Structure 1
Amino acid sequence: MEKLSQTRAPIYEALEAFRKQRVVPFDVPGHKRGRGNPELAELLGEKCVGMDVNSMKPLDNLCHPISVIREAEELAAEAFGAAHAFLMVGGTTSAVQSMVLSTVKRGEKIILPRNVHRSVMGAMVLCGAIPVYVNPECDDRLGIPLGMSVKAVEKAILENPDAKAVLVNNPTYYGICSDLRSIVALAHAHGMLCLADEAHGTHFYFGDNLPASAMACGADMAAVSMHKSGGSLTQSSLLLTGPEVHEGYVRQIINLTQTTSGSYLLLSSLDISRRNLALRGKEIFEKVIRMAEYAREEINQIGGYYAYGKEICNGDSIYDFDITKLSVHTREIGLAGIEVYDLLRDEYDIQIEFGDLGNILAYLSIGDRPRDIERLVSALSEVRRRFGGPSVGLLSQEYIEPKVIVSPQTAFYAEKESLPLKESAGRVCSEFVMCYPPGIPILAPGEKITEEILEYIVYAKDKGCSMTGPEDPDIERLNVLKGV
Structure 2
Amino acid sequence: MIHSQQRAPIMEALQRYQAARVVPFDVPGHKHGRGNSELAAFLGETCLQHDVNSMKPLDNLCHPVSVIKEAELLAAEAFGAKHAFLLVNGTTSAVQAMVMTACKAGEKIIMPRNVHRSAINALILSGAVPVYVNPGVDDNLGIPLGMAVEEVKLAILEHPDAKAILINNPTYYGICSNLKEITELAHEYEMLVLVDEAHGTHFYFNDRLPASAMSVGADMASVSMHKSGGSLTQSSFLLINNGVSEGYTRQIINLTQTTSGSYLLMSSLDISRKNLALHGQEIFNKVIEMAQYTRDEINKIDGFYAYSKELINGDTIFDFDESKLSIHTRGIGLAGIEVYDILRDEYDIQIEFGDVANILAYISVGDRKLDLERLIAALTEIRRRYKRDSSSLFDHEYINPEIIQTPQQAFYAPKEILSLPNAVGRVASEFVMCYPPGIPIVAPGERVTKEIVDYIEYCQEKGCFLTGTEDPNVEIINVVKEADR
TM beyond 0.5: yes
Contact 1:208 1:286 in 2 (8 A): no
Q: In the alignment, residue 70 of structure 1 is paired with which amino acid?
A: K
Pairwise mapping of residues 28-427 of structure 1 onto structure 2 (< 5 A)? 28-427=27-426
In structure 1, give the amino acid aligned to 2:359: I
The number of residue pairs the alignment matches comes to 483
- Amino acid of the residue matched to residue 225 of structure 2? M
Q: Which digits, 9 at most, give the CA deviation of each residue in 1:184-208, with x for residues without a partner?
A: 0000000101000000000000012
Q: Distance in 2 between matches of 1:74 and 1:428?
A: 46
DSSP 3-state at the match of 2:6: coil
Check the 8 A contact 2:2/2:278 in 1, yes or no: no
Name stretches of at least 5 consecutive residues in structure 1 with no aligned partner.
Answer: none
Amino acid of the structure 2 residue aligned with 1:328: I
Residue 431 (structure 1) aligns with: 430
The answer to whether the 8 Å contact 1:117/1:439 transfers is yes
Q: Alpha-carbon deviations, 1:433-466, whole Å to 9, x = none? A: 1000000000110000000000000000010000
State the distance in 2 between where 1:273 and 1:3 align: 15
Deviations 1:27-52 (A, max 9, x none): 00011111111110000100000100
Match of 1:443 in 2: 442
SS at match of 2:410: helix
| AA aligned opposite 2:223 | V
Deviation sequence 1:237-294 (CA, Å, 0-9, x none): 0000002100000000000000000000000000000000000000000000000000
Q: For residue 397 of structure 1, report the CA deviation from its aligned partner.
A: 1.3
Q: Is the 8 A contact 1:170 1:177 kept in 2?
A: yes
- The CA deviation at 1:392 is 1.9
Go from structure 1 to structure 2 and tell me whether the alpha carbon gap of 1:22 and 1:389 turns closer, same or farther (over 3 Å shift).
same
Given the alignment of the two structures, is residue 10 of structure 1 paired with residue 29 of structure 2, yes or no? no
User: Within 1, Cα distance between the matches of 2:464 and 2:350?
Assistant: 15
Structure 2 counterpart of 1:216, one-letter code? S
Moved more, 198-207 or 364-373: 364-373
**C-alpha separation in 2, matches of 1:4 and 1:148:** 39
Q: Give 1:166's aligned amino acid.
A: I
One-letter code aligned to 1:231: G
| Alpha-carbon distance in structure 2 between the residues aligned to 1:12 and 1:274 | 12
Between 1:465-474 and 1:381-390, the stretch displaced more is 381-390
SS at match of 1:472: coil
1:428 and 1:294 map into 2 onto residues whose CA distance is: 47
Counterpart-to-counterpart distance in 2, 1:254 and 1:82 = 17
Report Cα offsets for 1:328-361 as digits up to 9, x if no partner. 0000101000000000001110000000000000
Return the offset for 1:4. 6.7
| Aligned 8 A contact 2:186 2:193 in 1 | yes
CA distance in 1, matches of 2:395, 2:367: 31
CA contact 2:429–2:444 (8 Å) conserved in 1: yes
Deviation, 1:431, is 0.3
Q: In structure 1, the residue corresponding to 2:216 is in which secondary structure?
A: coil
Whether the 8 Å CA contact 2:71–2:270 is kept in 1: the answer is yes
**TM-score computed with the length of structure 2 as normaliser:** 0.99
Q: Contact 2:111–2:132 (CA<8 Å) still a contact in 1?
A: yes
In 1, Cα distance between the equivalents of 2:48 and 2:182? 45
Structure 1 segment 451-462 matched on structure 2, within 5 A? 451-462=450-461
- CA contact under 8 A between 1:116 and 1:169: conserved in structure 2? yes
Q: Confirm or deny: 8 A CA contact 1:4 1:75 kept in the other structure.
A: no
The two structures have a TM-score, normalised by structure 1, of 0.99
How far, CA to CA, are the matches of 2:331 and 2:3 in structure 1? 53
Query: CA offsets per residue over residues 396-452 of structure 1, 9 Å max, x none?
Result: 111100011010001000000001111000000000110000000001100000000
Q: What is the root-mean-square deviation of aligned Cα atoms in Å? A: 0.9
SS of match in other structure, 2:4: coil
Conserved in 2, the CA contact under 8 Å of 1:54 and 1:261?
A: yes
Aligned to 1:467: 466
Runs of 4+ in structure 1 over 3 Å off:
none
Q: Structure 1 pair 114/49, CA: closer, same or farther in 2 (3 Å)?
A: same
| Cα distance in 1 for residues equivalent to 2:380 and 2:240 | 44
Given that residues 91 and 236 in structure 1 are in contact (C-alpha distance below 8 angstroms), is that contact kept between their aligned partners in structure 2?
Answer: yes
CA distance in 2, matches of 1:392, 1:314: 27
Distance 1:417 1:234 in 2: 37
Instruction: Report the Cα offset of residue 388 of structure 1.
Output: 1.4
> 1:303 deviation in Å?
1.0
The letter for the 2-side match of 1:119 is S
Contact 2:411/2:445 (<8 A) preserved? yes
CA distance in 1, matches of 2:438, 2:184: 29
| SS of aligned partner of 2:377 | helix
Return the alpha-carbon distance in structure 2 between the equivalents of residues 282 and 303 of structure 1. Answer: 34
Distance 1:57 1:144, change over 3 A: same
Q: Distance in 2 between matches of 1:296 and 1:420?
A: 42
Change over 3 Å in CA distance of 1:339–1:87 after alignment to 2: same
Deviations 1:91-139 (A, max 9, x none): 0001110111100011100000000000000000000011000000100
Identity of matched residues, %: 69
Equivalent position amino acid for 1:198 in 2: E
Q: Give the AA of the match of 2:351.
A: I
Distance 2:168 2:364 in 1: 19
Q: Is the 8 A contact 1:230 1:366 kept in 2?
A: no
- Tell me the distance in 2 between the aligned counterparts of 1:243 and 1:175: 27
